[in-house]
């Protein structure tokens, strides 16, 4: 039975794990190395780490903690956070990252996608597209951690990044981020149906039904979530969790 990838997306700040809501308020989760060990035991398909300090431009990615994370992980790791230069990517891949996640820098320099894919292969590059719904139901691409509206249509932008050599796309809803009330299925489906590369749904997952809907309704190829895999119960106690193989088969059975 084919099963889509289920990917915990984890945020780093000051070398600690945090979780945000709508890209703003954040909550301390714990130690990233311990989280990786737990996801190893739970047989997670992949992990994505985003260094928020680097995303905000406060500093470059914390290579020391990333090297420890990659050294501990049994699964593929993707790393993002303020990546603007080829030497940053070369360093991340050298210390164990299999993929890099790029966001704001490629909006300003689309040729960067081509340079990365030609040097490291399309399979190494994920373009993250942060989106918000505007008035009259229109969507646009936002950059700089949801602070700046580019006024670019996400579907048209997704086509462009595919043409330039992106290997995968993350569609991340800012409004749904951390709310645990489900993905934005409409825009995810629109983007998924417009490109031929894998699309990862992100932002809003709170239960297994949300994963199922993103796969069968929006046609996402993979499903990323944060809160769902670090919180448990109505009080949202911190507890690393991940579905077992049997649970995955139940989620996606037809």
Active site residues: 130
CA distance 154 to 176: 16
Give the alpha-carbon dihedral of 49, 56, 18, 171, to 10 degrees.
-50
Residue 146 phi, psi dihedral angles, 5° rounding: 80, 15
Cα dihedral sign for 64, 70, 73, 78? positive
| Pairwise CA distance, residues 126 & 89, whole Å | 12
> CA 27, CA 238: separation in Å to the nearest integer?
10
Torsion sign across C-alpha atoms 227, 231, 237, 239: negative
- Tokens encoding 252: 């996606």
């Amino acid at each position: 039975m084919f099963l889509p990838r289920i990917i915990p997306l984890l945020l780093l700040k000051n070398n600690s794990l945090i979780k945000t809501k709508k890209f703003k308020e954040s909550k301390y989760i714990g130690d990233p190395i311990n989280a990786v060990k737990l996801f190893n035991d739970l047989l997670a398909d992949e992990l994505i780490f985003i260094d928020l300090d680097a995303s905000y431009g406060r500093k470059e990615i914390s290579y020391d903690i990333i090297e420890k994370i990659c050294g501990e992980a049994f699964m593929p790791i993707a790393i993002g956070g303020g990546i603007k230069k080829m030497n940053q990517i070369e360093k991340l891949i050298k210390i164990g990252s299999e993929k890099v996640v790029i966001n704001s820098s490629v909006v300003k320099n689309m040729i960067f996608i081509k340079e990365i894919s030609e040097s490291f292969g399309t399979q190494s590059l994920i373009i993250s597209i942060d989106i918000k719904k505007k008035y009259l139901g229109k969507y646009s691409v936002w950059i700089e951690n949801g602070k700046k509206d580019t006024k670019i249509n996400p579907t048209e932008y997704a086509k462009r990044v595919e043409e330039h050599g992106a290997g995968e796309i993350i569609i991340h809803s800012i409004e749904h981020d951390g709310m645990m009330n489900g993905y934005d299925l409409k825009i995810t489906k629109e983007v998924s149906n417009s490109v031929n590369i894998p699309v990862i749904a992100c932002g809003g997952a709170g239960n297994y039904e949300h994963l199922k809907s993103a796969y069968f309704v929006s046609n996402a190829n993979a499903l990323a979530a944060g809160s769902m895999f670090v919180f448990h119960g109505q009080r949202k106690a911190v507890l690393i969790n991940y579905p077992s193989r049997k649970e995955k088969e139940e989620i996606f059975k037809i």
